Structure 1
Amino acid sequence: MRWFEGSIPAAIASAKQQSLVFVVVITGEDEQSAQLQSSWEEDKVSEAAHNCCVAIKVDAKSETCTQFSQIYPVVCVPSSFFIGENGIPLEVVAGSVSAEDLLKRITKVQQVRGVAKVAKYRKYTILVLVGTKTPIIIDKERSHILMFCRCNRISLISQEHFTLIADGCNQMIVLILANYSRKLCVVFLLLRLTKKLEDRREQKKKGEEEEEVRREMERRKQGKEMLDFKKQQEDDKTRRIMDERNREKAEEKAARDRVKQQIALDRADRAARYAKNQEEVEAARQAALQARQVEQEAKKDAAVRERSAIARIQFRLPDGSFFTNQFPAESLLLDAREFAVQETGHRYGNFSMATMFPRREFTSEDLNKSLLELELAPSASVVLLPSSRASNMVRQAQGGGFWAILEHILSPLLAVWRYISGLIAPSPPPPAGEATGSGPAQPETLRKRTHEKRQEEFKKDGKIYRLRTQEDSEDDTNTWNGNSTQQM
């Protein structure tokens, strides 16, 4: 047996190309599969299958068999499938069969396939058999004619008796034996008659198709007219509904306008009555407001006079610390300077005083002016500016060259020592009666200054502490009057 070596798609393509039956033989490893393979290997079976089949052998456990079983269910193993050109199984042989039974199945498949070919090509081929007057219509290809004659046990002298007769656009094959060639004219007549009958049938079919098209066009036209008529009726109905709805909307709008007009009149009446009552209430409110303003202005003047009688001065030192004291507003700036000298203990030597906001440095002439004249009341912040450079020049003129050079070398170290001692050592206490909070308890004063310095470095907002900025210091040192205007 000559098996096809390629895949199933290649075998199908080969079978279609040769117009043969596609045979799939599914075998396993059992004894029945071995018997079926031996039946296919018989000479007579191989010869019959070679003339009409393209056979391929598939293992039952392979992926190819799984894919094949999805299209053609494999009931048992082994089995043989005879499949026609259109994919329909012509015969299925289940199990193991003998060579004679297998040959009968192949012959049966050939007969079924020959009848199918005759039915398929009825319009193209005429076969004139020996001793008959009626032509038999079969496939137009020579191989199919030979197969048909072989299956139906029709004897032929040779293949040379095939004659191709051209009639119009159709080509027809006529098989005639040599001793019956005198019937060739009858065949020609039959061919022409058949051609005329076919032409008449074609014309009739064409006329029927045209009539069908005409009726279809008429039916579509009537359907379109009916749809247009229904659409016109629906449009008229919709238009009437819209007109009625618009009329109802216009009536509702007119009713709403009347109601709105009446509501507007009622509101105007109520507004007039309310305005009259409101004027009386407003007059009473204005009188009470004026009386309250007069009282507030009197309280404000009293508070200003009271605050102006005392000047609260905050002294800021070069090392960043500060101390505060209250003076009478009529006190001189010289009193404030003497208090600063007592607090610092001549630590900074000769110094001058200045304010930062607005920027102003006080001179010796300003020492004889009152705090009120210098706009330091009711509160102000004064910065102490040491004039160390001028004192150094005086000392150099008095001390001589050697001591001047030595002091020049040691001046940075002395400056650092002064800064550290200013942070660590407390300043001497001021005289009793002048500084607020001054007394015999010096540690208490130191604690207050340390607390004020910590408050200066940090600002508390609820439970959150944050570093102070220049804007925060300005807000803390500023005062506010009753009109919420900032005043130094």
Structure 2
Amino acid sequence: MRWFEGSIPAAIAAAKERRCVFVVVITGSDGQSAQLMSGWETDSVSEAAQNCCVAIRLDAQSEACVQFSQIYPVVCVPSSFFIGENGVPLEVIAGSVTEDELQRRILRVTQVSTHTDADPGDRHISGTELAEGPLDGCLCSPESLSVPPEEHRASGHVTPAEEERQPDQALDDKVQRLTKKLEERREQKKKAEEENELKKEMERRKTGKEMLDFKRQQEEEKTKRLLEERNREKAEERAARERVKQQIALDRADRAARYAQSQQDAEAARLAALQARDAKRDAAQRERSAVARIQFRLPDGSSFTNQFPSETRLLEARQFAAQEVGNRYGQFSLATMFPRREFTAEDLEKSLLELDLAPSASIVLLPQSSRPSNTVVHSSAGGGVWAMLGSLLYPLLAVWRFISGFLFSSPPPPAAAQNQPTTNTYGSSAAAEPQRDAVRKRVHEKRPEDFKKEGKIYRLRTQEDNEDDNNTWNGNSTQQM
């Protein structure tokens, strides 16, 4: 079906130009409208309406349908209006009809239109004739289905020119009225649109203001919520920091307590070990100090050793030494070399332990002259008799010293020789030198096997000495075993 694509006035002008029936089909969105449109779209109906109709399709909700219903009342939807050249509805089909019925209606409208053009005097169409056919429950007004008699009734004598001019004039009047109504409708629509735009603008502003208020309220709530969350996080962080500080303080206190305890334990263990070691050392010292091993070193380099109880007085040790050496050195005193100390008469009454000579010590015998040096001074001060007597007796004293040194293997005391004049000392020393060497040689040969001679060096012999240690005895050798 070829539908006219223009507006209603254009369709009316096209129908008037082609002298065809103007067909208006009004449809909706229901099933009857779809059924009616399917009938119009068939090939037989399209072929029947192609040459005799100018058809236009309107939606029941469109503005054009509203304007059309102001002139031709639309009773029901769907509807099909067949309008002649003079604007009079020739046929109105209310509701949907079958394809055959629609084709039959189109043929009848074509015949009515042709008959109207052939006999202009008879143009009245009764309402019963136009409403003939099924309406499917739709009610149509008789006024809309019939043409007023005064419009179709002609006078007794009407000329053909007047008959042709009357339909054209009626159609022009209707078009003018329709155009005027369209203009009024357009003005009303424009005013309504302006009012709607104003209302929409007011609504938009109101909505915008409400949106701004809502957004501002949301921002305030969000800011408040963020502030509360931040304060809560700060409080939690502060509490966590305090807990960490407390834990650190507890850990430090615990570590300090453990460290102090460990220090106390270590100190107690150290003190206990030190006390045990001191006790052990004291016990060993007491055990060792119970016996004092004294080595007596003679002026000629020889020595002898003896053990004494640590409580023995130094006087007893001196008496033992005097018994051992006899009268070889005459009067002698006791002394230690390291540290340098010469024992006095008061020290002779002290024990070896009190004099730090236990558990072992080395005592040197220091020979003394038979007469103190101050005697010579006093004799010289008393007169020359004693000086002369000393000079006369000195050779005899020298011979006695030589004989005693030969017998007791001991040279004369050096202190006595130093107290004599220089000339006499030199002469006696030169005369007695060969005899002293012979005496020393015999004394050295008589020494016990405790001494070992290496060149001019004598050292003590121990049980661990053997011939293999000769290379490393004094520590100066480059050979290390």
Question: With structure 1 as the length reference, what TM-score do the two structures score?
Answer: 0.30
